[in-house]
Amino acid sequence: MQLENYIEGKFIPPFHGNYLENLNPAENIVIAQIPESTAEDVELAVKSATNAQPIWSTTPLNERIDWLRKIAAALDLRKSEIAMLESIDTGKPVKLAERVDANRSVSNFTFFADHAENLAELRFEMADATNYVIRKPVGTVGLITPWNLPLYLLTWKIAPALVMGNTIVAKPSELTPLTANLLCEVLDSINFPKGVINIVHGLGSIVGQAIVEHPKISAISFTGGTATGKIVAATAAPMFKKLSLELGGKNATIILDDADLSIAAQGAARAAFTNSGQVCLCGSRILVADAIYDEFVEKLVSEVSNMTVGNPQLTDTDIGSVISQEHMNKILSYIDLAANEHGRILTGGKQLSLPKPNADGAFIAPTLIDRIPIDSRCATEEIFGPVATIHRFSSDEEAIDMANLTQYGLAGSVWTSDTERGKAVAEQVESGILWVNTWLHRDLRTPFGGVKNSGVGREGGDWSLNFFSELTNICVKDD
Ligand code: TXE
């Protein structure tokens, strides 16, 4: 398979004619060639997007909403293909890709269509005047997305940007380009207006950087690692671009002494190991009350040891491969480091060799480590793999202090039979998103984003629509 960029409604080869290899990490085989684009391709995409801007931005809102619904309907017909492509591109189980990636990629469009349709009018009456707020598009926006939830995160940005009248230059991760290409095929099949969405494939340091630097791109929405987020911010901030950064996490799962331990063990296992721990919301630090520590850890270890790691194409697989050999080596280096940091491996702790066709795949057994200090590198740095550390606490206050010990502040969960106690703990954790007795239970209307080094700004519902629009207040003095 050879992919091309999608610019001005056409699939076109990269300016310099160079291509990168795209691998299936579960089999370690090349599955596609993708454009190794450069600043010239970005220039072309920006031209296409800025040319399309006057017409798209003046297309009435109800027509833009209709387009979102048309995209959703056309994507919906290709859901099983989305799941299959996502699975071979990322190594995640196809059943997870069906349930999470394919469904959300469609519902991102229907959600933002509904949300824009019901957008509250902003009006502020004064004694002698009335203020009303209108929304204008920001212009041409740059969207940069990672490899862990490829189409899910790309459409999470495309849908609100589109509905608010912006035109788009987007760069999917070079590791997972396949479903962005499927989206372009879908746009083509429904005769979506040309030039409104442009996709440029290639390396982050070249294509991503060229997008962030481009003076005609007025806003950047980025999801990815904190180190890359810093580079993006350093480039975009002096240009006064609107900036949304969704970055890493090192989230705490807090098990209070009154929790239902079986439910909490299932919840903690799911939070730690969904998508091989490669979700920014994953609970990679499990904090457990002293009084129930042994009983809980026994249940958790049994839960995790029963997870089936294997061929992502098989329906009984719970955990597939990680994203690449390079990422696997990074994760394994943290497991090695855990031993130096006095950690004890309770389960997992090693690379797995599986039968063909996965013999050369990047598989790691889900790993639980305890007896490791809460301020160790393994417990404070984002590993972003199937590795979680377990720590003991003796009071709710200590659990909160431990949860707040990292540079990150994205998410977390608290497990308890006392909802009020759970809320009191959750409210003191320095994170943007907390769950009580659940995890990754998402209402797309709610604010999504992190504090500290986990990012800047919020996405979701009104927050996304506000980011992708310029709010203009008009104050009219009464006669
Ligand atoms: O992500 P990058 P990487 C974390 C996770 C992981 C680490 C590194 O800890 O181990 O980040 O992963 C593009 N200007 N997360 O290196 O580089 C890149 O091409 C503009 C958490 O794979 O952040 C890709 O499209 N763009 C995260 C996107 O940025 C640049 C999900 C993200 O890749 C760029 C993924 C540049 N200079 C990793 N350099 C989450 N928040 O969920 C790269 N890119």
pLDDT score recorded for residue 248? 96
Nearest residue (CA) to ligand 1, atom 3: 225
Q: Which residue has the tokens 């690379």?
A: 351
Which atom of ligand 1 has the smallest separation from the CA of 153?
Answer: 42
Residues 330/290, Cβ–Cβ less than 8 Å: no
| 175 Cα: distance to centroid of ligand 1 (angstroms) | 10
- In this prediction, residue 379 has a pLDDT band, given cuts at 50, 70 and 90, of very high
Going by CA atoms, what residue is nearest to atom 13 of ligand 1? 204
Query: What pLDDT sits at residue 185?
Result: 98
Q: What's the pLDDT band for 467 if we cut at 50, 70, 90?
A: very high
pLDDT digits (tens, 9 = 90+) for 293-321: 999 999 999 999 999 999 999 999 999 99
Ligand 1 atom 8, closest CA? 225
pLDDT, average across residues 226-231: 97
Annotated catalytic, 246? Answer: yes
The residue annotated as part of the active site, out of 280, 282, 382, 459, is 280
Please, which pLDDT band fits residue 459 given cuts at 50, 70 and 90?
very high
Q: How far apart are CA 402 and CA 413, in angstroms?
A: 13
Where residue 42 falls among pLDDT bands split at 50, 70, 90? very high
Active-site residue, 121 included: no
Q: Whose CA is nearest to atom 31 of ligand 1?
A: 224
Separation of 223 CA from ligand 1 center, angstroms? 7
The confidence score (pLDDT) of residue 176 equals: 98
Give CA–CA dist 317/99, Å, rounded.
Answer: 13
Q: What is the mean pLDDT of residues 200-224?
A: 98
Give the pLDDT confidence score for residue 195 in this predicted structure: 98
| Confidence category of residue 68, pLDDT binned at 50, 70, 90 | very high
Q: Ligand 1: which residue has its CA nearest to atom 27?
A: 224
Catalytic option among 36, 246, 303, 382: 246
pLDDT at 180: 98
Query: For residue 190, what pLDDT is reported?
Result: 98
Q: Would you state the pLDDT for residue 48?
A: 98
Residue nearest to atom 43 of ligand 1 (CA): 204
Q: Provide residues with CB under 6 Å of ligand 1.
A: 144-148, 171, 173-174, 204-205, 208-209, 212, 223-225, 228, 231-232, 246-248, 280, 382, 384
Separation of CA 144 and ligand 1 centre (Å): 9
* Residues 185-196, mean pLDDT to the nearest whole number: 98
Q: How far is the CA of 404 from the centre of ligand 1 (A)?
A: 24
- Å from CA of 61 to ligand 1 middle: 33
pLDDT tens readout for residues 71-119: 999 999 999 999 999 999 999 999 999 999 999 999 999 999 999 999 9
The minimum-distance atom of ligand 1 relative to the CA of 327 is 10
Mean pLDDT confidence for 241-263? 98
**Which atom belonging to ligand 1 lies closest to the Cα atom of 410?**
41
Domains and CATH numbers, the chain: 5-247+454-477 (3.40.605.10), 252-444 (3.40.309.10)
pLDDT for residue 22: 98
Nearest protein Cα to ligand 1, atom 25: 173
In this predicted structure, what is the pLDDT of residue 280? 97
- The span from the CA of 3 to the CA of 365, in Å, is 33
Q: What is the pLDDT of residues 396-415, one digit of tens each?
A: 999 999 999 999 999 999 99
Taking the centre of ligand 1 as the mean of its atom positions, its distance from the CA of residue 217, in whole angstroms, is: 20
For a mutational test of ligand 1's pocket, the pick from 228, 406, 407, 451, i.e. the residue with the most ligand atoms closer than 8 A to its C-beta, is: 228
Compute, in angstroms, the gap from residue 168 CA to the centroid of ligand 1.
19
